[in-house]
Structure 1
Amino acid sequence: MTRRPTPPHPAYPRVVRASAWYDLAVTAGFATPWTYSLLHAALSKLGDTFDLGTLPALDPVQVLFANLMGSVVVVWALLRIVDPAPLFGLFDALARTLFATWQAYALADGAPPWLWLFLVVEVAFGIAQLAPWLLPRTTRVPGDQKAL
């Protein structure tokens, strides 16, 4: 049996679960054609109201990809809510790195500026979940007073 590695801080699963709740709240609207249509209209209206840009008109392929992304992220979020295992946090941090990269790419290519809000959260949760894995750890050997 393989032992799962764990980051050093016992609060880490709370960070994993918090990021999952955020994902669930933000992506649930993408999971079905009906909810995506409503979300698309709301985001466009919000962008128009604050002069931050609107989304392009809906087309079947855009809806399909939004629904695929929404469905996968909703299931992934539910898994992390039920079991906020540290390894899931590590993989989520890696996924957030990819999401943030593609969001930055879209922004550079002319995506509406409100996308920055999502990018900032992706980066923040990505750092919060990845940093504990990258920071040096100290371990104590029973009977030894020095950290290894």
Structure 2
Amino acid sequence: MLTEGDRLQLARFIQANVEKYTDALVRAVELTQAKDYRREDLKQIIAGYVAIMSEALVEKSNDKRSFYLETVIPGLVTNGEALPKLLYGAASVSLIISMDVMHGFPSASPSDLSDWVADYFASFLRDMMGSALTTAMQTPALLAQMASS
């Protein structure tokens, strides 16, 4: 189990790396030929991603996570982002953050850290795709678009 100090240090670490994680999302968007996003839009997505991870580390709530899953993800889907591309971007950034965290915290117990990171990203990606699929299923035009892709 991560200590309170490790959690706070980890939250600060990921908050300090928003630019790096934005670069990773820019690359993922380029690789998947996802919709055309401005860097500032992608940075805002990453800032939200980091905020919800920080919330999970140091706060006793998941209000930011709920807000992100109820607004950001449906917004991306409604604006026409393909679900596989959305998952690719989120998974690639999650892996980069995971690798950063595992290399950046030698003081934390490696198994405690890897357990927390794996559980966090697995549950977030599950919930993200649930939100995306729910949005797509509620929008007939999106279902038709998905069927033709």
TM-score > 0.5, shorter chain as reference: no
TM-score (norm 1): 0.38
State the structure with more CA Rg: 1
Decide which structure has greater helix share: 2
